[in-house]
With several copies, the nearest count.
Chain A
Amino acid sequence: MQRIDVLYFAWVRERIGLPRERVETDAATVAGLVAELAAREERYALAFADLTSLRVALDQELADFGASLEGVREVAFFPPMTGG
């Protein structure tokens, strides 16, 4: 069991209905964590329905959905960025 802070931004935050939560997980990878979250409730399933429209950061660095969660304390999910 690993405790991870999970953060949501932009429409991911709006769909799930909260900006962050503490999650206890056995998932080894980001994809595993996504599967656990998506299984929870409809709003999560909707937010994670299309991974190609999502980006993920591990401890504030961009990462892939296949990345390991080992030692990770903060995972953030968000749409493609639109700065500038």
Chain B
Amino acid sequence: MRVSVQETAFDAGAEANAFTAGLTGAGAVVTFTGIVRDNGGRLAAMEIEHYPGMTERAIAAMVEEASRRWALADALVIHRHGRLEANAPIMMVATASAHRADAFAAAEFLMDYLKSRAPFWKKEIGADGAAWVAAKDEDEAALRRW
């Protein structure tokens, strides 16, 4: 299990391959990668603020909870902060299990919790100024299924 909260860019494919290479006996690997959407060219960049210390603790707790609920061979969470360019990867989650259902469920669980329970705040910087991204009701609702 690895959690990395980092300012530097990462290569999602290389991370997925390294994650997979480290597995023994897991037949199913699911990854989710979040990309900075450029909103049709209107977004110049995104700034992500976070709460150092709490971020790592909160994500580690989510990964532990996922490991309790599903039979995971391994899990990985990478989340960037700071200034990100449009079309850059923001974050990724990878989960591995003997069977696909566990890997899918754990990845979706981690994504739902990262969206609304990890202390990150996104600010969109466009031609017409900067604005904090508002939390969505549907993201809060998504937590209720777990």
Q: Do chains A and B touch in the complex (CB under 8 A)?
A: yes
CA distance A11 to B115 in the complex (A): 18
- Across the A-B interface, how many residue pairs have beta carbons closer than 8 Å? 72
Q: Are B121 and A60 in contact (CB under 8 A)?
A: no
Q: Which of A57, A61, A79 contacts B121, CB < 8 Å?
A: A79
Q: Which of A7, A61, A62, A82 contacts B135, CB < 8 Å?
A: A82
Task: Using CB atoms, name the residue of chain A closest to B59.
Answer: A83
Q: What's the nearest-Cβ distance from chain B to residue A35, in Å?
A: 23
Q: What are the residues of chain A within 8 A of B50 when measuring CB–CB?
A: 83
CA distance A61 to B54 in the complex (A): 7
Task: Using CB atoms, name the residue of chain B closest to A12.
Answer: B121
Q: What are the residues of chain A within 8 A of B79 when measuring CB–CB?
A: 83-84
Chain B CB within 8 A of A76 CB: yes
Q: Are B119 and A81 in contact (CB under 8 A)?
A: yes
Q: What's the nearest-Cβ distance from chain A to residue B83, in Å?
A: 15
Most chain B C-beta atoms within 10 Å of own C-beta, residue among A9, A10, A79: A10
Task: Report the interface size class on chain B.
Answer: 20 to 34
Q: What are the residues of chain B within 8 A of A80 when measuring CB–CB?
A: 116, 134-135, 140
Give residues of chain B (23-63) contacting chain A, Cβ–Cβ below 8 Å.
34, 49-51, 53-54, 57-58
Q: What are the residues of chain A within 8 A of B121 when measuring CB–CB?
A: 9-10, 78-79, 81-82
Q: What are the residues of chain B within 8 A of A57 when measuring CB–CB?
A: 51, 54, 119
Q: Are A79 and B135 in contact (CB under 8 A)?
A: yes
Q: What are the residues of chain A within 8 A of B133 when measuring CB–CB?
A: 82
CA distance A76 to B51 in the complex (A): 9
Q: Are A84 and B91 in contact (CB under 8 A)?
A: yes
Q: Are B51 and A79 in contact (CB under 8 A)?
A: no
Q: What are the residues of chain B within 8 A of A13 when measuring CB–CB?
A: 49
Give residues of chain A (54-84) contacting chain B, Cβ–Cβ below 8 Å.
57, 60-62, 76, 78-84
What would 11 more interface pairs be, CB under 8 Å, given A10-B132, A81-B119, A81-B135?
A9-B119, A10-B123, A60-B54, A76-B54, A81-B115, A81-B120, A82-B133, A83-B116, A83-B117, A83-B122, A84-B111
